[in-house]
Structures are given as C-alpha cells and as structure tokens.
Amino acid sequence: MEQLLQQIEAYKQEVAGFSAADSTALEAFRIKWLGTKGIVKATMGEMKNVPNEKKKEFGQVLNEFKTFVENRFEELKEGAGNGQQATAPETDFSLPGDHIPVGTRHPITMVRNRIISIFQQLGFSVATGPEIEDDWHNFTALNLPAHHPARDMQDTFYVHQNPDWLLRTHTSNVQIREMEKGKLPIRIICPGRVYRNETVSARAHCFFHQVEGLYIDENVSFADLKQTLYFFVKEMFGKDVRVRFRPSYFPFTEPSAEMDVSCFICGGEGCRVCKHTGWVEILGCGMVHPNVLENCGIDSNKYTGFAFGMGIERPAMLLYGVNDLRLFSENDIRFLKQFTSA
Ligand code: PHE
C-alpha cells in the first residue's frame, strides 16, 4: 500500500509539472491520464487489491487524485484554448464549401423498387422473412420432400451447427410463413436475397436477388395470373413488349409456366442479348399446388392461388446493359456511381 501512495505522489508531481504547448499536447495529456485506458482509471482499479479495513482511507486518496488530475486538465485547457485562439487563422466564409458527395442507390435496389411499386398498384403488399431458413419452409412445405430430385436444382449452403438450417434458395419461404399465419386472402410480394451453391461466373453467383409473389383467395384462376403479369410487363418493359408462356415444372405449382418477354433490346428481331431467339426468360409461375395449401392449413377445396418468382439481376443486366453479374457485388464505386437514383 505504501508503494501505491508513493506512486500517486509521483503521478501528482508529473501532472503538476506538465505544460501543454498546444491542443495536440493537451489531447495527448487527456488520453494518457483521463482516457478510458488512462492512468487515473488504472489507478482507481487498484481499489480491488486494497484490504477491506483500508478501503475507506484509500478511497479518499484515490478520489482526491482523480479530482487533482481533472482540475489540472481544466486549467491546461483554458490556457491552451486562449493561446490557440490568438493564433487561429480567421475563417473566410466567402470561400466555396467542401463538396459532400451524394451517393446513389444500388442498381439492384432500383430495379427491385420499381418491381415493388408496380405490384403495389395492384394491391400487393411487401412481406419479408429470414435468409437462414429451416428445411420445412424452404423445401418440404413447398412440396419438395427430402430426396425429391427437384432439390438438385436448388443446391444450397447448410449451417454447420444445425443440419436443418440452410440459406434459403428462394423467397418462397416467406410465402409459406405468410400462409401459416392463417389470414386470408393473401396478396403479397416477397423481395429478398437468396443463395445457391453455384460456381461463380459472369452469369451466375452463389447469391442473387428475387421478387416472388403470391395471391390466395376464393376463385383465383390462371387468367388472374396472366392478367397480373401482363400488367407488370407493360409497366416494367413498355407497352410494345409481347409475352409468351411456356409449360414448365415446379413442385409447388400445378400447372406451372415460364414467362418470356419479347426482347426489349432488339424488339424481337434477334440479338446477342436474346441469343437471337427474340425472347428473354423473365420468371416462373403457376397455380399453387393443393399440397402446399394443405401443408399450411389452408382448405384447398375452398381456396386457390397463383405464385410467381423472378430474379432481379437478369432484368437489371438487360435494362442497364451490364454484361457481368459479378459487377453488382464487387462494390466498385466507378461502376456503382453510373446509376442515378430515380
Ligand atoms: N421459387 C421459384 C424459383 O426460385 C420461382 C417460382 C415461384 C416459380 C413461384 C413458380 C412459382 O426458382
């Protein structure tokens, strides 16, 4: 304990003898003595080593030391402040201000927002859900039981600690979660990031973005699905764009279709973008499979519904003429600042 008292005396002398030449020296003083890792704090920490019967006495000594340093700092501050004010250059308010660059929205965000606002006009509201999902919400409830061959098309990443957890492969998990709530009718769109175990290239990545949609009510038909998508296409790509549906297969919809639009780059003539077919594939869709409805506790004799899902990267690449998908996630300012927010 003697040692500690001596040490405090020595500290006090050092503090008393210190003089701050300028504000930098003063700041160094503050950090050294009063900072969170400073000497005062460390010295106060010695209390825990002081035997109980001496705690009161030492408490006083330590508090006094702390006040001593604080007072000295205030003194120095006043001194340094005065000194500095005398020499500080006058501010010239007629000079132009510093330029603060304004950011722009990410192109994927811009296309996503555009898609969302189109469906909002039709009364769809936005729903979101977790990116780390369990097997049930990403696969099994969607009529994709374990060992179903269609799971191969959506290979993903699994969470080491729990084999039931995975990174969602589509935002259809949000549709399941919404249906499980049991409130009908449902009219939602689900934007979000999804993951797939794919080799990274100019056309594929291990993650991308989607907007999926779901409408469930009594008497919803395939005609409703088509009209909804027609409206979307006209708003998104222009009124001259033509649409075609091709029969397809998804375990969670029956019947299922793939929707193409006439190439909005060449107008359907054939070009590099549409690989000279005149058509660009935009989304998958179909009538929700009765098994999916029943899995979520919805009476499939009473209710029907349609669903669709599209990637955002592809239309963004086409709309902005971007030829490599990786550019979207490299965070290169030179690339990103070319897009001005709408
Ligand atoms: N979930 C599908 C996918 O990610 C897309 C889709 C959604 C297809 C809804 C049909 C109906 O590939």
**Rounded to two decimals, what is the model's pTM?**
0.72
- Rounded to whole angstroms, how far apart are CA atoms 285 and 245? 9
* Inter-residue contact 143 to 295 (CB < 8 Å): yes
Centre of ligand 1 from the C-alpha of residue 153, in Å: 12
Q: What is the DSSP string of 91-159?
A: P-TTSPPPP-PPP---HHHHHHHHHHHHHHHTT-EE----SEEEHHHHTGGGT--TT-GGGGGG---B-
From 198, 207, 212, 249, mutation site for ligand 1 pocket: most ligand atoms within 8 A of C-beta: 212
* 2-17 vs 55-87: helix crossing angle, rounded to 10: 10
Mean pLDDT in the chain?
Answer: 91
pLDDT in tens, 41-59: 998 888 888 888 888 888 8
Q: Is the pLDDT of residue 342 over 60?
A: no
117 Cβ contact partners less than 8 Å away, ≥ 6 residues apart: none
Interval between CA 136 and ligand 1 midpoint (Å): 16
Give the residues surrounding ligand 1 with Cβ less than 6 Å away: 170, 172, 212, 250, 253, 284-286, 307-309
CA distance 237 to 315: 9
> Closest ligand 1 atom to the C-alpha of 213?
9
- pLDDT (tens digit per residue) in 77-115: 887 555 555 456 778 889 898 888 888 899 999 999 999
Q: Which two tokens stand for residue 294?
A: 């029943």
What is the DSSP code (8-state) at residue 205?
-
The burial of 124, by beta-carbon neighbours within 10 Å (0-12 exposed, 13-18 middle, 19 or more buried), is given as buried
